[in-house]
Amino acid sequence: MKRIILASASPRRRQLLEKIGLSFTVEPGDLTENGEALSLDKDPVEIAKELALRKATSVASKNKEGTLIIGADTIVILNDKILGKPHTPEAAEEILSQLSGVWHEVITGVALVEAQNGKWIVDAVSTEVKMKELSEDIIKAYISTDEPLDKAGAYGIQGLGAVLVEEIRGCYYNVVGLPLAKLTEMLEYFGIKVYKIWKSNSALQELKRN
C-alpha cells in the first residue's frame, strides 16, 4: 500500500483521517494563508481546488515514489468575499458579526498527488451553513475560548461553535475541513479502498468494540 501524507497541520483533518482508519504521516504544505477577507476574482470552487493542489504538490516535490499526498483547503464565502482566518479577537468578532443570522458557503478543495509520477486529481465540495442570530454577549463569550482564532469563518462546527449553527445543507465533514465521502471516492482512483483497510485494521476494530 502507498505511504500516505497529509499535507496539512490541521488537527481536525488529522482526526478525520484517523476516523476512517487511514494510516498516514503529517507534513504541512507550503502555503501562506491570508487572514483578511478577499474579493473573488474567479470561481470560489476553483480557488479552493487550486489552494489544495498547491499544498499537495509542495509536499510531493519533497517525497519519493510510493507516496500519495492529500492536500485540502477550506474557504468560507459570504457576499462574494472569502472570509479569512482571524488571527486576533477583533478580527474574529468582525467575522462572526457578519455571519450572524445569515447563510454562508463553506467550500473545501481536496487534491491527491502521487509523488512518483506527479499524477493528480482535485475536486471540491460545497456546504451551505446558516448561523443563529448571535448577540454581542454570545460572540464575546465564544471568542474568549480562543476557538475562533485561525479557523476559516471564525468558528469550529465540531467544537463549541456547534451551538452557533442553526442549519446546514450538505456534507457536515466538509465544514469541519475534509469531506470524507468525496475523499474516499478520490482515493479509489489510486487503488486505495478504505473499506478494505477496515477489515485488516486491528486498531479500528478495537475502537469499534469499545
**Overall number of domains in the chain:** 1
Using CA atoms, how far apart are residues 42 and 78, in angstroms rounded to an integer? 15
Summarize pLDDT for 72-115 with one digit per residue, the tens: 999 999 998 999 899 999 999 999 999 999 999 999 999 999 99
Using CA atoms, how far apart are residues 55 and 177, in angstroms rounded to an integer? 14
Contacts of 1 (CB under 8 A, 6+ apart): 192
Local confidence band at 34 (pLDDT 50, 70, 90 cut-offs): very low
Using CA atoms, how far apart are residues 161 and 157, in angstroms rounded to an integer? 5
Looking at the DSSP bridge assignments, the partners of residue 129 are 104, 168
Q: Is residue 137 part of a domain?
A: yes
Q: Is residue 92 part of a domain?
A: yes
Summarize pLDDT for 176-193 with one digit per residue, the tens: 999 999 999 999 999 999
Local confidence band at 40 (pLDDT 50, 70, 90 cut-offs): low
Task: Say if CB 154 and CB 83 are below 8 A apart.
Answer: yes
Q: Is residue 193 part of a domain?
A: yes
Q: Is residue 178 part of a domain?
A: yes
Output the domain CATH number for residue 128: 3.90.950.10
What average pLDDT score do residues 147-174 get?
96
Domain with 8, as residue range(s), is: 3-201
Q: Is residue 45 part of a domain?
A: yes
Distances (CA, A) of 133 to 14, 90, 158, 185: 31, 19, 19, 36
Contacts of 179 (CB under 8 A, 6+ apart): 108, 110, 125, 171, 173
Parallel, antiparallel or unpaired: strands 3-6 and 25-26: parallel
Q: Which residue has the higher pLDDT, 62 or 30?
A: 62
Contacts of 92 (CB under 8 A, 6+ apart): 86, 143, 148, 149, 154
Using CA atoms, how far apart are residues 108 and 77, in angstroms rounded to an integer? 11
Local confidence band at 32 (pLDDT 50, 70, 90 cut-offs): low
Q: Is residue 22 part of a domain?
A: yes
Please list the active-site residues.
73
Lowest mean pLDDT among 53-62, 98-107, 165-174: 53-62
Contacts of 9 (CB under 8 A, 6+ apart): 26, 28
Q: Is residue 206 part of a domain?
A: no
Q: Report which of 82, 64, 179 is spatially closest to residue 127, judged by C-alpha positions.
A: 179
Using CA atoms, how far apart are residues 103 and 147, in angstroms rounded to an integer? 21
**What pLDDT is stored for residue 36 in this prediction?**
46
Neighbours of 35 (CB within 10 A): 15
Burial class (CB in 10 A: 0-12, 13-18, 19+), 79: exposed
Q: Is residue 121 part of a domain?
A: yes
